[in-house]
Structure 1
């Protein structure tokens, strides 16, 4: 289980970056273990991209299979740290994601995804009740 850095609890540009990097570590942990409890605690339930990924991973594990690989790594993080009208802050992250293999219950490979390198995603987070909450992530609009 990833350890949350103290800086991730700070309402600052540096705190948001630490939180974002921690959030991706929780994503990797959930992907590898299908344990999403800590991820869910810091992610808004309305995050559509998150729910799509969690549903697919959970369904695969429920069938008795597992996933190998797929780790996401934050290469860079930038934000102007200016809240929008709702108070959330958008940031840009450059994320690499390793190839992943889905393995069936009997140990055979069912599928494989290619590695994704140098993709730029937008993450949207909100400082609420003294902590960061990830609202959504994904490709910038129009891409």
Structure 2
């Protein structure tokens, strides 16, 4: 679970979404949407400064049963700026906190995220 959020932070900072793809189930719509957002930013010759997601808590849903598990994940996002490649600020975002419900399932030899829903 932590690796997926680290992969998102890495993608936001670099535009490289390969790590997200490696831990996202092919049916994960939220994963595809997030990847598309990163691709759109970098495709528009923009980049993100700051930001990044840091997990503050992860709580397993006790009703989860193998092979799939659900977690409540509290995430802190640092303030960030969307910048043009010429150095102009396009947009600023304040630091925020989110709560996600994330579903993971064992596939091949590792867990992949199959669903993600932002609650707050």
Aligned residue in 2 for 1:7:
none
Aligned residue in 2 for 1:60:
41
When residues 44 and 97 of structure 1 are mapped into structure 2, their CA distance, relative to the original with a 3 A threshold, is same
The Cα offsets for residues 56-82 of structure 1, whole Å up to 9 and x where unpaired, read as 221121122111122111001111272
TM-score by length of 2: 0.87
Structure 1 unaligned spans of 5+: 1-19
Number of residue pairs aligned between Structure 1 and Structure 2: 119
For 1:53 and 1:130, the matched residues in 2 are separated by 24
1:32–1:67 Cα contact (<8 Å) kept? yes
When residues 21 and 104 of structure 1 are mapped into structure 2, their CA distance, relative to the original with a 3 A threshold, is same
Q: Report the Cα offset of residue 139 of structure 1.
A: 2.2
2:17–2:38 Cα contact (<8 Å) kept? no
Q: Does residue 92 of the first structure (1) align with residue 72 of the second (2)?
A: yes
Structure 2 unaligned spans of 5+: none
Aligned residue in 1 for 2:21:
40
Whichever of the two has the greater Rg, that structure is 1
Aligned residue in 1 for 2:93:
113
TM-score by length of 1: 0.74
CA RMSD of aligned residues (A): 1.8
For 2:96 and 2:26, the matched residues in 1 are separated by 26
1:63–1:105 Cα contact (<8 Å) kept? no
